[in-house]
Amino acid sequence: MTSVANLLAALDGQGIALFQEELDFHLSYLAEQAYVQIWRTRDLPGFRSDRPGAWKPDAIRFAKLLPKGLQLLDGKCAEDPLVRF
């Protein structure tokens, strides 16, 4: 599991600059296809909707590669035309 902040920094280091919202869009697709598991702010322990904060409840905070995602990455399952490396 890694934080979205770390993912954004790693992508930036590779010359791929994304906004948080753009990465959330891509991670949502990957989660729908069961390639990754995501945790949104509202899913985290201690989240309370009555507390104002910097993070929106629907913002993705963490992601974890799932076995199906690893198989896709390793080329051990059918390619997904909407995913590129």
* Position 30 in a domain: yes
Q: What pLDDT is recorded for position 58?
A: 81
* Position 80 in a domain: no
* Position 81 in a domain: no
* Position 79 in a domain: no
Across 21-33, b (16+ Cβ under 10 Å) vs e yields eebbebbeebbee
Q: What pLDDT is recorded for position 24?
A: 93
Q: What pLDDT is recorded for position 47?
A: 74
* Position 31 in a domain: yes
Q: What pLDDT is recorded for position 73?
A: 93
* Position 32 in a domain: yes
CATH code of 67's domain: 1.10.10.10
Q: What pLDDT is recorded for position 71?
A: 96
Q: Which residues, 6 or more positions from 34, have their beta carbon under 8 angstroms from its beta carbon?
A: 66, 68, 69
* Position 33 in a domain: yes
CA dist 64 and 36 (Å) reads 5
* Position 67 in a domain: yes
75: left (phi over 0), alpha (psi -120 to 50) or beta: left
Number of domains in the chain: 1
Average pLDDT, 10 consecutive residues per value, the chain (85 residues):
94 93 95 96 78 75 96 93 88
